[in-house]
Amino acid sequence: MQLSSSRSLAEMKPVLADPGATGPDPVYQVFKELGVDSWVNQTVIAPGRYGQEFPKTFGHYHGVETPEKYHVVSGEGVLQLQKKHLELGFWTPEKMDEVLLIKAGANDELVITPEYGHSWSNVGTAPLVLYDDWTTPHSPADYEAITKLHGLAYYLTEENGAIKLMANKNYEDLPEPVWMTAEEFQRYLRK
Ligand SMILES: [Fe+2]
């Protein structure tokens, strides 16, 4: 296994609820050449907080139509999925058709389709370890909208031991987020 990339706290500042907050650094690391079945990448997200916010991945969209599969190895995570909104055939990045929050733990698996921007948050007390099968290199365009809007639709924060969602004010008319399990999401996609 080899280190593929590492996201420092400084690099994550544009997408944090509080860009001045301190906490674990690096926020997460991605490893390659895992030698585990057909999995391509392993992401390890540190436990902790940045102010009230849970550590997370930067978040991105995919520029290609390939689905992406995740497997939760260990830890407790929430995958935020935000569905692209089209107006007259044009993508409007500050509006969302829907926002889904998938709570997932060890051995949960799910496949996501290309219309969803996505980011994982580590809501547990241990590192969140994930496998995925993504082989296409990311382009700067995959991160552009999320950088400009300072994160995904909702910031996942902690209040009195529970997850509290803070709406990202850079988005317009945000839909109420819907919580699902990994299994429920797969059934939902098949509908
Ligand atoms: Fe992805």
Task: Output the average pLDDT for the chain.
Answer: 96
CA 116 / ligand 1 centre spacing (Å)? 9
The model's pLDDT over 43-90, given as tens digits with 9 standing for 90+, comes to 999 999 999 999 999 999 998 989 999 999 999 999 999 999 999 989
The model's pLDDT over 157-169, given as tens digits with 9 standing for 90+, comes to 999 999 999 999 9
Say whether pLDDT at 23 is over 90: yes
Domain count, the chain: 1
What is the average per-residue pLDDT within 14-33?
97
If we measure between CA atoms, which residue out of 86, 66, 74 comes closest to residue 42?
A: 74
Mention every residue, 6+ apart, whose C-beta is less than 8 A from residue 154: 80, 99, 101, 165, 166, 167, 168, 174, 177
CA 60 / ligand 1 centre spacing (Å)? 6
- When pLDDT is cut at 50, 70 and 90, the band that residue 36 belongs to is confident
CA 158 / ligand 1 centre spacing (Å)? 25
CA 160 / ligand 1 centre spacing (Å)? 31
* CATH number of 132's domain: 2.60.120.10
CA 184 / ligand 1 centre spacing (Å)? 20
CA 11 / ligand 1 centre spacing (Å)? 18
184, containing H or E segment: helix 182-190
Say whether pLDDT at 37 is over 90: no
- When pLDDT is cut at 50, 70 and 90, the band that residue 156 belongs to is very high
Q: Find the domain containing 85 and state its range.
A: 2-190
b/e map 35-71, b = 16+ CB within 10 Å? eeeebbbbbbbbbbebeebbbbbbbbbbeeeeebbbb
